[in-house]
Structure 1
Amino acid sequence: MDTLTNQQSLPEPEQLLRQQYYRDRLPEMRLLEKLLHKGGDRLRVQVLTEVFDGELALPVYALELGSTAKEAPVLILCGGVHGIERIGTQLLLAQLATLVSRLHWDEGLTHALTQMRLVMLPLVNPVGMARGLRSNGRGVDLMRNAPIDAIAPRPWLVAGHRLGRWLPWYRGRKGDPMEAEAAALCALVRQHTLHSPFTLALDCHSGFGMRDRVWFPYASGSGMMEHTPELHAMLRLFEKAHPHHTYLFEPQFHHYSTHGDLWDYLYSEHLGRSEHAFLPLTLEMGSWLWVKKNLRQLTSYTGLFNPMVPHRQRRTLRRHYLLLEFMINAVRSWQNWLPDEQARERHQRHAERRWLKGEPQE
């Protein structure tokens, strides 16, 4: 279905209202739609759901590149789950722009995509981003919205609560359906992980510390994820290929535990229906470094989560290109590095030493 054509078929006043809204409040959506048009039939685009800011309906886009085979390995990239963290969406839009441009001439990329599927949700929470909120338009924190409870949540409030939408980190009312944006993300992930022999996901956020961190489950407990050997094997590949990287890879529970984490929920659900590896990761870009270099950002809520100086924004967009390219190649070549049973035991031991005992990596 040509969803962009459907969007253009809206009455002219509504089209004009939407375009004005994008210019004033949501330039990321305006750029996304331009890239979708530029990609043409190379991109398979769908609107997962629509969410409303007043009477204006905003689309939540998903797009695919590469193989249509159900059994293809999959890389899922998403951003903008927290509306205030615009840099995550901007990072994925920069990556999408690069891919769309390369597809016109890069035979290597075209061939690589025949062996895998790339799925992108660059802007999961458009109303939250337009309003400059962490939550969605209904006041719910989408990363606290899944029906899963932490074993030992900490700290209070930050871990998620049900007191009311006037406080941040609100989970929503107990027993209510998941928010439309969260439910759409979960449905898409289920669709692509059901038959895939290997799935890697990266959710792009910002706002924690002065280092770029890559977190993995669990956020709701203190145990290691069941696919820890596969995760450790992939990270060792990255570290050998890029020995001077500055990322800190660690389980999220090293810092805090939360209720309602979407990736914990999807991962636990996946374990009950498939034996195939699924590695959900979160890129947490260290926004405190931007604040340290520009203390004026302390006066702006947006500045606590995003680089406000143009050259720092461009540097951030460049810095993560190698990680995203590595992920494309790791998914495409998953059969060449995924550990067998004997290697799994070795990687499990090394991972426990690294993340549970804090011993240096060999």
Structure 2
Amino acid sequence: MSPSPFELDTLIHLIASHPQLRAKTLTEVESDGKLYPVICAELGSEQANIPCIVFIGGVHGVERIGTQVQLALLSSLLTRLAWDSQLQALLNRVRVCFIPILNPVGLAKGTRCNGNGVDLMRNAPIKAVDGVTFLVGGQTISAKLPWYRGKAGMERETAALVSYMRDAINNSSSVIALDAHSGFGLSDHVWFPFAHQQTPMADLGRVYHLKQLFESSFPHHNHYRFSPQSLIYRTHGDIWDYLVTDTAKGDVPFIPLTLEMGSWAWVKKNPRQLFNFAGLFNPQKPHRYHRTLRKHTVFMHFLMDLAASRSIERLNPQQMTQFDRLARQLWYEQ
């Protein structure tokens, strides 16, 4: 029987210790005779039609650092709530949601896939329009090979996230999502849809505005490379592509972002990590681990502040046209 990962125990402890956290189980998945919950914890306003930000982690179980970064932020917010009047005021104007362990079985077993061998980020019912990289873009050959898409529809974890995000979009004035991953490149990336095609998403101008605000407001924290994921590689079954396509005709601004932490930099500084599968995706040295927990806090706080400000909601048609044009010049006219 697989033991509970310590990250899941940490989340359950935070919920038990802080009654202001509104927690619910989105689904449960079974493995080796044990049930693992997929838990969402919410802070802030419960009113409808307010901005919402959702932090997601643990889609790939081996990428533990994404879950740990988000649990560190959640723990900090809960501690500060006891005395920080500015944070208290912020949470009156925004709803902040955490789903830090979408794939608890993968986290417990140290695998990228879930308990059925399915890669959850290749599992949504959307197929690439343009060509994808062999295997990496998602395959239906065998669960014994990586990047398996599955053949029986959405997995319980995927369906639970899709359902939760649809409800968030239907009951909020805007939604920003940040999905934390690790394992690609020497740099930290912030990707956004699409991954299944090279055409721009409808809210491209809003993404450009977000990027512009962050880089001008925090010039000394600008270590992220923003781009549509299709410029890096294309895939089938991307959850965020599916949700953006599913909600394209709605009037609620929806900006899903993927934080891809550049784990190759950790391997470069400590080549012995090559001999440890988890070391390909997570910092192994304590000082690099703690630095990573600190490194992304500014960006996550920025997203909370941006959501609460409603800046992405209040763009007029002229501004949207201008930002869309600049975004296309930057990302699509190369």
Q: TM-score band (shorter)?
A: over 0.9
Deviation at 1:335, TM superposition (A): 4.0
- Aligned residues of 1:35 and 1:97 also touching (Cα < 8 A): yes
Structure 1: stretches of 5+ with no match in the other structure:
1-16
Q: Could you tell me how far 1:35 is from its partner in structure 2?
A: 1.2
Distance in structure 2 (CA, Å) of the matches to 1:50 and 1:94: 24
| Separation in structure 1 between the aligned mates of residue 312 and residue 32 of structure 2, nearest angstrom | 50
Report how far residue 153 of structure 1 moved: 3.2
- Amino acid in structure 1 at the alignment position of 2:247: H
For residues 247 and 290 of structure 2, the distance between their equivalents in structure 1, rounded to whole angstroms, comes to 36
- 1:128 and 2:106 are equivalent in the alignment: yes
**1:73 lines up with 2:73 in the alignment:** no
Distance 1:234 1:337, change over 3 A: farther
Q: What letter is aligned with 1:135?
A: C
Deviation per CA, 1:307-328, whole angstroms, max 9, x where unpaired? Answer: 0111100000100010000000
The question of 1:181 aligning with 2:160 is answered no
The CA deviation at 1:96 is 0.5
| Range with greater deviation from structure 2 (50-59 or 279-288) | 50-59
Provide the residue aligned with 1:210 in structure 2.
186
Alignment of 1:217-236 (within 5 A): 217-236=193-212
Of the three residues 22, 36, 45, the one matched with 2:15 is 36
What is the aligned partner in structure 1 of residue 310 from structure 2? 334
Displacement after TM superposition at 1:195 (Å): 2.9
1:168 is matched with 146
Give the conservation status (yes or no) of the 8 Å contact 2:206–2:312: no
Corresponding position of 1:265 = 242
Is 1:210–1:288's contact at 8 Å kept on the other side of the alignment? yes
1:337 CA displacement: 7.1
Q: Normalized against structure 1, the TM-score is what?
A: 0.90
AA partner of residue 115 (structure 1): R
Structure 2: distance between partners of 1:270 and 1:323: 26
2:129 to 146, 151, 156: 151
> Deviations for 1:256-308, whole angstroms, at most 9, x for unmatched residues?
11000000001111113x11210000000000000000000000110000001
Once the two structures are overlaid, the 10-residue window that deviates more, 332-341 or 115-124, is 332-341
Structure 2 length normalisation: TM-score?
0.97
CA distance, structure 2, for counterparts of residue 236 and residue 268 of structure 1: 24
Partner secondary structure for residue 97 of structure 1 = helix
Q: Of 84, 89, 92, which aligns to 1:106?
A: 84
Q: The residue matched to 1:73 in structure 2 has which SS?
A: strand
Measure the CA separation in 1 of the matches of 2:243 and 2:321. 25
Task: Provide the rounded CA distance (Å) in 2 between the counterparts of 1:353 and 1:151.
Answer: 22
Letter in 2 for 1:38: S
Say if 2:296 is the partner of 1:317. Answer: no
| 4+ long deviations beyond 4 Å | none
Q: How far 1:30 sits from its partner (Å)?
A: 1.2
The alignment of Structure 1 onto Structure 2 pairs a total of residues equal to 333
Aligned to 1:247: 224
SS at match of 1:70: coil
Matched, 1:61 2:39: yes
CA distance in 2, matches of 1:39, 1:250: 37
Instruction: From the CA coordinates, give the structure whose radius of gyration is larger.
Output: 1
Structure 2 counterpart of 1:190: 166
Deviation (angstroms), 1:336: 7.4
Distance between the aligned counterparts of 1:247 and 1:147, measured in 2? 29
The CA deviation string for residues 73-111 of structure 1, in whole angstroms up to 9 with x for no partner, is 100100000001000000000001100101111111111
Q: Which runs of 5+ in 2 are unaligned?
A: none
